[in-house]
C-alpha cells in the first residue's frame, strides 16, 4: 500500500505543480521536489511516528525498530528487484527494435543505432528521492534502531553497482545540463537533520526507559530493585469496588488516578534532557560545520591560481594589443599601410 500511494502522491504533486505555472524550470523542479518529499515523508514516516510518539506512552522502541526494519529493508529489496525489471525492459526494447530486420542488416547496425535501442535516461530525481528517504530512516529514528545505518550501508554497496551497470549499459547517454548545485535537495537534507535531532531527543526522553531508569537509580535504588512496580499504577478504588478486582497499568499515578509527585519530577528531567541534548548536538554540528570548509584548501589554491593566470593572460593580451595599435597609428600617419604583428 505504501508503494502504491507513493506513485499516487508523485502524480498528485506533478499535477499541483503544473497548476502553479512557475516561470522557470528551476522553480518548477524545486516546488515539485518539495511537494513529492512532503507527500513521501507522510507516506513512509507516518507509521513510525505514530508508534514512537502516539500509540503508547511507554517503551515502544522494540515495536518501532521492527516497523522501521520492515519498511526500510522491504523498500530496499523492492527497489533492487525493480533494477532487475529495468534489465528486462531494456532487453524487450532491444528485441522490439531488432524485430523485422534480417541477419545481414543486424550485423551492419552502427554503434549509435545500437545505443538508440537503449532506454531513455529520465534523470536522477528518483535516485535523489531514494537516498533522501533512506537518510531520514537512519537519522530520525536511529535511537530506536541502531542497525538501520548498517542495512543502509549494505544496500548502498549493492545499489551502487546496480546503478553503475544501469547507467552504463542500459540507458542512453544523458544530455549534460549545467547546474550550480543539487537544488532544493540540500535544504531538505538540512531539514531532515534538524528533525532528526529533535526526534531522537524525544525518543530517548519520552519513548525509551533510559531516563526513568536513571531517575529511579539516583532517587530510589541503584540496583533498580522494584523499578517495575514504580512504573505501574494501581487501578482506582472506584474500579476496584465495582469490579471486585485489582489491576495495574503503566503510569505514575496514585490510587485515586492522580499523578504522583514523581511524575512531575520525571517530566522536568525529560524536558531538561531534551533541551540540553538538542543544544549540545546543534552546537557540535555548527562547530564541525565551521571547522570543515565548504571548499577544500587545495581547490581554493587551484582556483586562485587559475584566476591569477587569467589576469596575467589578460594583461599580456592588452599589452600586445596596445603595441599593435600604436604601430598602426604611426605607420598610417607617415603615409604607409597599417601593419599589425
Residue-wise pLDDT tens digits, 44-96: 888 888 888 887 666 677 888 888 888 888 887 887 777 777 667 666 666 66
Q: What are phi and psi of 171, to 5 degrees?
A: -105, 150
Average of pLDDT values for 104-117? 65
Q: How far is CA 68 from CA 137, 142, 146, 301, in A?
A: 7, 10, 11, 45
Angle at 63 between CA 61 and CA 64, to 5 degrees: 60
pLDDT score for 19: 92
Strand 248-250 vs strand 232-234: parallel, antiparallel, or unpaired? antiparallel
pLDDT in the model for residue 336? 47
pLDDT at 283: 92
What average pLDDT does this structure show over 303-309?
89
The one-character DSSP state at 260 is P
Please tell me the distance from the alpha carbon of residue 17 to that of residue 13, in angstroms, as a whole number: 6
123: left (phi over 0), alpha (psi -120 to 50) or beta: left
pLDDT of residue 271: 92
**Cβ atoms 202, 141 nearer than 8 A:** no
Match 499515578 to its residue by C-alpha cell.
Answer: 253
Segment 312-320 shows an average pLDDT of 81
Alpha carbons 199 and 145: distance in angstroms, whole number: 13
Of the given ranges (61-65, 119-123, 271-275), which has the lowest mean pLDDT?
A: 119-123
| pLDDT classification of 341: cutoffs 50, 70, 90 | very low
Q: Is the dihedral of CA 69, 75, 76, 80 positive or negative?
A: positive
Tell me if 174 sits within 8 A of 228, measured CB to CB: no
8 Å CB contact between 116 and 41: no
| Residue 205 CB neighbours (<10 A) | 21
Which residue, 109, 114, 212, 120, is CA-closest to 174?
120
The Cα–Cα gap between 246 and 234 comes to 7
pLDDT tens digits, one per residue of 142-181? 888 888 889 889 888 988 888 888 888 778 787 777 777 7
Task: Name the maximum alpha-carbon separation found in the chain.
Answer: 127
DSSP letter at 121 equals P
Amino acid at each position: 500500500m505504501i508503494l502504491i500511494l507513493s506513485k499516487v502522491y508523485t502524480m498528485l504533486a506533478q499535477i499541483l505543480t503544473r497548476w502553479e505555472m512557475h516561470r522557470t524550470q528551476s522553480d518548477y523542479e524545486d516546488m515539485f521536489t518539495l511537494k513529492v518529499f512532503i507527500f513521501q515523508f507522510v507516506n513512509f514516516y507516518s507509521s513510525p511516528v505514530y508508534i514512537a510518539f502516539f500509540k503508547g506512552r511507554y517503551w515502544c522502541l522494540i515495536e518501532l525498530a521492527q516497523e522501521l526494519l520492515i519498511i526500510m529493508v522491504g523498500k530496499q529489496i523492492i527497489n533492487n528487484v525493480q533494477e532487475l525489471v529495468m534489465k528486462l525492459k531494456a532487453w524487450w526494447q532491444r528485441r522490439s527494435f531488432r524485430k523485422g530486420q534480417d541477419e545481414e542488416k543486424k550485423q551492419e547496425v552502427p554503434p549509435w543505432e545500437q545505443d538508440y535501442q537503449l532506454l531513455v535516461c529520465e534523470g536522477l530525481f528518483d535516485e535523489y528521492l531514494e537516498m533522501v528517504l533512506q537518510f531520514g530512516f537512519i537519522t530520525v529514528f536511529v535511537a530506536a534502531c541502531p542497525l538501520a545505518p548498517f542495512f543502509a550501508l549494505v544496500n548502498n554497496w549493492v545499489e551502487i553497482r546496480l546503478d553503475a551497470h544501469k547507467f552504463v549499459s542500459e540507458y542512453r547517454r544523458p544530455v549534460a545540463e549545467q547546474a550550480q548545485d543539487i537544488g532544493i535537495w540540500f535544504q531538505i537534507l538540512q531539514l531532515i537533520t534538524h528533525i532528526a535531532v529533535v526526534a531522537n531527543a524525544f525518543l530517548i526522553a519520552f519513548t525509551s526507559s533510559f531516563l526513568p531508569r536513571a531517575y529511579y537509580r539516583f532517587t530510589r535504588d541503584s540496583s533498580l530493585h522494584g523499578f517495575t512496580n514504580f512504573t505501574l499504577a494501581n487501578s482506582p478504588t472506584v474500579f476496584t469496588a465495582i469490579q471486585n478486582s485489582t489491576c495495574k497499568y503503566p503510569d505514575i499515578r496514585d490510587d485515586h488516578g492522580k499523578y504522583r509527585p514523581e511524575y512531575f519530577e520525571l517530566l522536568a528531567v525529560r524536558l531538561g534532557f531534551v533541551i540540553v541534548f538538542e543544544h549540545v548536538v546543534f552546537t557540535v554540528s555548527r562547530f564541525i560545520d565551521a571547522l570543515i570548509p565548504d571548499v577544500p584548501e587545495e581547490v581554493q589554491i587551484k582556483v586562485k591560481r587559475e584566476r591569477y593566470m587569467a589576469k596575467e593572460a589578460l594583461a599580456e593580451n592588452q599589452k600586445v594589443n596596445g603595441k599593435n595599435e600604436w604601430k598602426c597609428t604611426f605607420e598610417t600617419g607617415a603615409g604607409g599601410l597599417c601593419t599589425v604583428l
